Structure 1
């Protein structure tokens, strides 16, 4: 007979950690992140999806912004037979607008595998999600951090073999429609030849 202490993960088990770094251009003048546990690690069961949106009742974490969908996105933990790691998929739960993952657009209810480092965009929000592997299979941790600068404007030098993530200031077919409001930015150094 197996004792209870042998079947429960020990506190010493290294948990997978999702670092969620978030940015919004008007974050300094609004209380957008008042409902997020900034600077605190929170433990979650791996059999429940993690939801982010405006509705505090329906979502695990909430943003105090009326332009965010009631349910904006979901992060679903999973494992594969070939890997011991806890991995994640991301799903767009918003009917109002698309979600971009490293430049790939997801429409309502579309899902994709979340890479170890991903730039997520919806509305005017940008989130950099970084996954750190752990040994535990039944739970994982999440921590939130507010970034002072948009992650798309920084060069990600810690991504071996990957090109930097840069924002050119222009809207293309992959990101059109992500920003619902606000001025269109133009590159003043753009030269037009006729």
Structure 2
């Protein structure tokens, strides 16, 4: 039997691509222990943890603002599905985890959407899931972003609409709300 025949029966794996950004990433080496642009195969029976403690966490962020265990991802299979899904859980007592616009407090968890923005502190992660056939294992793939993800085309910034129902955009877009005196309008 040739290698070509074996390749036909090999299952594809679900891949969780994580594009990461932190404003101090170049100076401080926050992500120095993460292998970027490399697919890592993991067992779907294990809970994958992210945080500061290298004895507990699979992926380490070297920053004192990060909890020993910040959050976890647990693979699972929905009853009506043949592919892996993931559940994200906040493991930090001191910092909320924001998944898209949903705030997760300590020990709160939710199913991870196919594509979502995960944030805590100054960390930004764009998580994108690519389905595969295997339920025994999956892959992670980290991508480094030189710019903030919320300001890229990756993810739309949430722009509030005033009570009047209309929004005037200006060329000087501010990310912070500005207060005006009633007489200035």
For normalisation by structure 1, the TM-score amounts to 0.78
The count of corresponding residues between Structure 1 and Structure 2 is: 161
TM superposition shift of 1:187: 4.6
Partner residue, 1:139:
137
TM superposition shift of 1:72: 0.3
Q: 1:52, 1:14 → 2: CA distance? A: 25
TM superposition shift of 1:145: 1.2
- Contact preservation (8 Å) 1:152, 1:166: yes
Partner residue, 1:159:
none
Partner residue, 1:45:
43
Q: 1:67, 1:187 → 2: CA distance? A: 23
- Contact preservation (8 Å) 1:16, 1:132: yes
Partner residue, 2:116:
118
Distance of aligned partners of 1:133 and 1:30 in 2 relative to their CA distance in 1, 3 Å threshold: same
Unaligned runs of 5+ in 2: 1-7, 160-173
Which structure 2 residues correspond to residues 113-192 of structure 1 after superposition, within 5 A?
A: 113-156=111-154, 164-166=155-157, 187=175, 190=178, 192=180
Unaligned runs of 5+ in 1: 1-9, 157-163, 169-185
TM superposition shift of 1:64: 0.9
Distance of aligned partners of 1:84 and 1:95 in 2 relative to their CA distance in 1, 3 Å threshold: same
2:139 alignment partner, SS class? strand
TM superposition shift of 1:108: 0.3
Q: 1:68, 1:96 → 2: CA distance? A: 9
TM superposition shift of 1:89: 0.7
Q: Which has the larger radius of gyration?
A: 2
Q: 2:65, 2:38 → 1: CA distance? A: 25
- Contact preservation (8 Å) 1:152, 1:167: no
Moved over 4 A (4+): 186-189
For normalisation by structure 2, the TM-score amounts to 0.81
